[in-house]
Amino acid sequence: MSENLTEKEHTVNENYRQKPRVAVYVCHCGGNISDVIDVKRVAQELSKYPNVAVSREYAFMCSSTGQDYIVDDIRNNGINRVVVAACSPALHELTFRGALSRAGLNPYLYEHVNIREQSSWVHKNDKEGATVKAIALIKAGVEKILRQDPLNSIRVEAVHAAAVIGGGIAGMRAALSCADNGLEAVIIEKSDSLGGNLNRKGKVYPSNRQAFEVAGELSKKVLSNPNIKVYLNSEISFVGGYVGNFQVNGKKSDGKFEKVKAGAIIMATGFDHYKPQKGEYGAGLSDMVITLPQFESVFEDLDGKKFIFGGREISSVAFMHCVGSRQIDGLDKPGKNGKVNDYCSRICCTAAISAANRLKEKFPETAIYDIYTDMRTYGMEHEEYYKSASENDIIFFRRPLEERPQVEIKEGKIHIKTRDILTMNEEMEIETDLLVLSTGLMPRDISDLVEYMKLPKSADGFLQEVHPKLRPVECANNGIFLAGTVQGPMDIRETLQAANTAAVKAAALLSAPDIPLDPFVAVVDEDKCTGCGLCPAECSYEGALVMTEKDVKGKKKKVACVNPALCKGCGACAAVCQPRAINVAGWTLDQFDAMVEAIAKE
Amino acid sequence: MKVNPNFLKEVKKYGAFDISKCFNCGNCTAICPLSAQDASFPRKMIRYAQVGAEKEIESSLEPWLCYYCGECSDTCPRQAYPGEFMMTLRRYLIAKYDLTGISAFFYRFPWVQNLLTIGIFAVSLAFFLSYTGDFQELAAKIELAFPVYVTLAIAAYVFTFYRKTILEKAKKFVLSINFSNIKETLIHGLTQKNFAGCSDTDWTRWIAHLFVMSGYTLTLVISNLHLLEPLKVQYSVSEFRTFLVFYAASAIILGGFIMMFRRAAKKVQSSSFSHSSDWLFVIMLFLIGLSTLSAHISNIILGPEDKIVELLYKLNIAVEVAWIIVIVPFTKWIHIFFRPMAVYLRNLKKEEAEGKALAFSLPFIK
């Protein structure tokens, strides 16, 4: 960690020592706030508040004019602390911190008060109450910022390498992109070859190329890249460390690798195909009921004029969608984890239709049925598959989501009964030689890795990104990125895009010699610390808070010690510290006291 | 309902090459001004065809309630031409209701019908020209034979239509003697009022249709009652018969000309996809009108003895012979009866559901 401040940081730190002069800005948010809250009154009220030197209201504080007010007041009116009362801090806190920086003020001497979500939107029908509440919230904000220390981002040194866990197409693509961006990449793969789920026969949409060819082409590039190291047959026994300094340990027994050091980890462990339970849509009742991956592997080897499968000539084939996807509690049997898969697996509609089209091309006389719930051939050009399928006279049946088609085997033929929305909800009887179940995608069991890294999972059991729009592929754990289907069902194109994104994020993170982190972490006042040891017991982040022997003012003393890179700033430690020796920077207990005081005053 | 994947292939032999593109969105039914709760089309019909619900198709009245304004085809997001599919179904149903199977054959091999028409026309004409006896007498006999032959053909069609749409479902004979139903049926039969149900009424089409229909019916009457004897009687411009012939023939010529023109121009959906039998039908009608009119005019000018009158009259009868033998009992012609009948049967179904229809069972029907 580097304690050295940059030159700019040094200069902007000086002005906080002067007598506090707070500026308050009340944003109208184009009516979102000002239609309910009397913003003029709020500004006037705040202008009388102690230490407030400037109080203004404006239509859009986030606009460049609004931001210019802040910059101008800092430069010309001696303002050294700023409060903006506006929307949610998630939206514009960084915007206004930026304005402070531009004006030469420490960006953390800024307080964002949310009077939109917390006042005008929730108290639409009580204008007076909303106004009074806004005033109280802003006063609390002023009190808080008066007690704010100028903070600086924490910097940690970083290893310029990424550990990629999983050597499927996501892992390979991510490793290649890391290498392209100047990072070293290490692929750790459990099996004996690269390629993962694509190491199989069968064509994949939208290129209609053989799966193993696509995987093979990528693995050739990976293996010939000097910046990528590949460990096959390798299992992981432990993952530790923090952003910039991860350490991945291998299971020593296989002797392949012991230790990999990396600044970032890219999770690319992929998915498992759903395995239908016995009796589910006829699975296991006949050899003529197979899954789509099984169909693909058989189909590629077929040639000649007749479709022979299991020693029989096949003249009709039915495809069943949503097997193991969009399941309903109580209707479908739960899997091993005790849950049903209620998500859509996204790829199976297009995959089934693309297979049906290829079948029709190879054996034009085959009658093909397709039983779906909702046709989700989303994505560029995928609708074309659906279109040509209907032009190919593939007969579609749309079943209600909450009904399950009945499959029976009679005299070697498969009989399917299904309600069909397209035929005015009538029950249809379909007789077919072969039934292909278009199975969904399942989260792969990576519970050991999840345990080592404390990775967050979604309700569906896949790993979860922080926010699908604001922070895609980023894991809540700093420095860990999600590539491909480890995060949810995706097709190959999306997987590769996610893998690229993960790699680029890792590269961006590790682009400077050290990594800046938010300064809102626990800080210990060693004078006050009694060494009682209550706080580390509360801490849920391994290595973030430990007790150490230290030299404090000449005396050897046992005190709490924070690793700022691992601390998440949750405040659990501060809550148990009786002498108030430990505080979260930017959110100290003194600040909270003053805020409560300000709100409770009247 | 059992699914039959081969049925659509069968229907496609009668046209509607694009119907596989349909993905059952239902825009066609939504836009159709004639589709109703108890007679929903075209989507329902298309769907039945896709899944091979042969029975449902063969017992449906919907194809005859469609007047092919073409709005569905214009609206279809998949260019599946649902309007033309309804037309195809009408062809398919005629083929199915034709117990001889000849219509099905003609629809699939239209050149046979064309060649036969030309052949029978040529043979009859050759025979007529070489005929040495009293041709007026012979013509009278031929015209007497027409109604017998035609009535038999119509009766077979009408009974099959009734059997498929009503009898096989109700399992008993039901009839509607409701006055308003009979009135509605007659009005529809005579005026094709349903054309006005299409939201942008295609007036030209309706009027052309009315011309042809009324002219043709009148020609039937004139010919069946053997009202004309142009080789024996000299007709004048001012008499009533001349007025009848002039109206009948010119209405057919004018209406037929408009129809041919529209089929050639392909400007609107309803005349964009002509089957060979459609052309044959309208051309032959046109020729009937033309030969009737020219024979009559030449009689007025030249008198009954003239060779030209005789030639034109023989031409006229030869065209009618070909028409009656090859065209009337097979393919398109029977739609003249099916359309008003569908109106009648639709009301009958309603009455039967309400228990108001006249019903009587027969021992041999179960």
The 10s digit of each residue's pLDDT in A136-195 is 999 999 999 999 989 998 888 899 999 999 999 999 999 999 999 999 999 999 999 999
Q: In this model, does residue A241 exceed pLDDT 60?
A: yes
The 10s digit of each residue's pLDDT in A449-475 is 999 999 999 999 999 999 888 889 999
- Contacts of residue A211, defined as CB under 8 A and 6 or more positions apart, other chains included, come to A198, A199, A200, A201, A202, A203, A204
Residue boundaries of the structural domains of chain A: 1-154, 161-270+444-511, 275-440, 521-584
Q: Domain A161-270+444-511 has what CATH class? A: alpha beta
Structural domain range at position B81: 7-97
Comparing CB atoms, the residue among B2, B6, B47 nearest residue A429 is B2
CB of B46 within 8 Å of a chain A CB? The answer is no
Q: Does B152 lie in the same domain as B82?
A: no
The 10s digit of each residue's pLDDT in A75-113 is 999 999 999 999 999 899 999 999 999 999 999 999 999
Which chain A residue has its CA at the smallest distance from B45's CA? A423
Mutate one of B17, B37, B51, B81 to test the A interface: name it (highest A CB count within 10 A): B51
Comparing CB atoms, the residue among A367, A398, A428 nearest residue B1 is A428
Same CATH fold, A161-270+444-511 and A1-154?
no
pLDDT at position A253 is 57
Give chain A positions within 8 Å (CB) of B76: none
Give me the torsion for CA of A300, A306, A308, A311, rounded to 10°: -150
CB of B47 within 8 Å of a chain A CB? The answer is yes
CB of B1 within 8 Å of a chain A CB? The answer is yes
Q: Does B23 lie in the same domain as B126?
A: no
pLDDT tier at A44, thresholds 50, 70, 90: very high
Residue B124 lies in a domain: yes
- Contacts of residue B79, defined as CB under 8 A and 6 or more positions apart, other chains included, come to B18, B21
Distances (CA, A) of B358 to B318, B338, B361: 44, 21, 10
Record the tokens describing residue A89, joined without a space. Answer: 């801090």
pLDDT tier at A550, thresholds 50, 70, 90: confident
Distances (CA, A) of A513 to A506, A507, A575: 13, 12, 35
Residue B65 lies in a domain: yes
Which chain A residue has its CA at the smallest distance from B12's CA? A393
Beta pairing class for A245-250 and A236-242:
antiparallel
Residue B57 lies in a domain: yes
Q: Does B141 lie in the same domain as B187?
A: yes
Cis ω before B42 (30° cut-off from 0): yes
Q: Does B61 lie in the same domain as B197?
A: no
Residue B227 lies in a domain: yes
Which chain B residue has its CA at the smallest distance from A366's CA? B5
Residue B365 lies in a domain: no
The 10s digit of each residue's pLDDT in A583-602 is 999 999 999 999 999 999 86
Q: Does B143 lie in the same domain as B286?
A: yes
pLDDT at position A599 is 94
Domain with residues A1-154, CATH architecture: 3-Layer(aba) Sandwich (3.40)
Which chain B residue has its CA at the smallest distance from A389's CA? B21
Record the tokens describing residue A209, joined without a space. Answer: 């190329």
CB of B85 within 8 Å of a chain A CB? The answer is no
pLDDT at position A255 is 56
Q: In this model, does residue A3 exceed pLDDT 70?
A: no
pLDDT at position A17 is 64
- Those of residues 519-548 in A touching chain B at CB distance below 8 A are none
User: Between chains, do B20 and A393 touch, taking CB under 8 Å as contact?
Assistant: yes
Give chain B positions within 8 Å (CB) of A428: 1-3, 51
Residue B287 lies in a domain: yes
Examine the fold and report which residue of B49, B77, B97 is the final residue of a domain before the chain moves on: B97
Q: Does B205 lie in the same domain as B78?
A: no
Q: Which amino acid is at B220?
A: L
Integer-rounded Cα Rg, in Å, for chain B is 22
| A382 min Cα distance to partner chain B (Å) | 15
Give chain B positions within 8 Å (CB) of A434: none
pLDDT at position A89 is 94
Q: Which residue has the tokens 């000449």?
A: A554
Give chain B positions within 8 Å (CB) of A420: 51
Examine the fold and report which residue of B45, B74, B97 is the final residue of a domain before the chain moves on: B97
Q: Does B110 lie in the same domain as B78?
A: no
Beta pairing class for A395-398 and A367-372:
parallel
User: Between chains, do A367 and B5 touch, taking CB under 8 Å as contact?
Assistant: yes
CATH topology of domain A521-584: Alpha-Beta Plaits (3.30.70)
Q: Does B279 lie in the same domain as B154?
A: yes
The 10s digit of each residue's pLDDT in A11-30 is 444 555 678 999 999 999 99
Q: Domain A275-440 has what CATH class? A: alpha beta
| A426 min Cα distance to partner chain B (Å) | 7
Write the ipTM. 0.86
What is the rounded distance in angstroms from the CA atom of residue A120 to the CA atom of residue A15? 34
Q: Does B169 lie in the same domain as B63?
A: no
- Contacts of residue A468, defined as CB under 8 A and 6 or more positions apart, other chains included, come to none
CB of A426 within 8 Å of a chain B CB? The answer is yes
CATH number of the CATH domain containing B46: 1.10.1060.10
User: Between chains, do B20 and A391 touch, taking CB under 8 Å as contact?
Assistant: yes
User: Between chains, do A429 and B5 touch, taking CB under 8 Å as contact?
Assistant: no
- What average pLDDT score do residues A369-375 get? 96
Give chain A positions within 8 Å (CB) of B21: 387, 390-391
Give chain B positions within 8 Å (CB) of A393: 5, 8-9, 20
Give chain A positions within 8 Å (CB) of B24: 396, 398, 422
> Do residues A283 and A289 make contact, with C-beta atoms less than 8 angstroms apart?
yes
Q: Does B155 lie in the same domain as B31?
A: no
User: Between chains, do A369 and B21 touch, taking CB under 8 Å as contact?
Assistant: no
User: Between chains, do B2 and A422 touch, taking CB under 8 Å as contact?
Assistant: no
Q: In this model, does residue A219 exceed pLDDT 60?
A: yes
**Centroid of chain to Cα A225:** 29
Examine the fold and report which residue of B40, B66, B97 is the final residue of a domain before the chain moves on: B97
Beta pairing class for A154-157 and A514-517:
antiparallel
Q: How many independent structural domains does chain B possess?
A: 2
Q: In this model, does residue A350 exceed pLDDT 50?
A: yes
Residues of chain B with pLDDT under 70: 362-366
Q: In this model, does residue A1 exceed pLDDT 50?
A: no
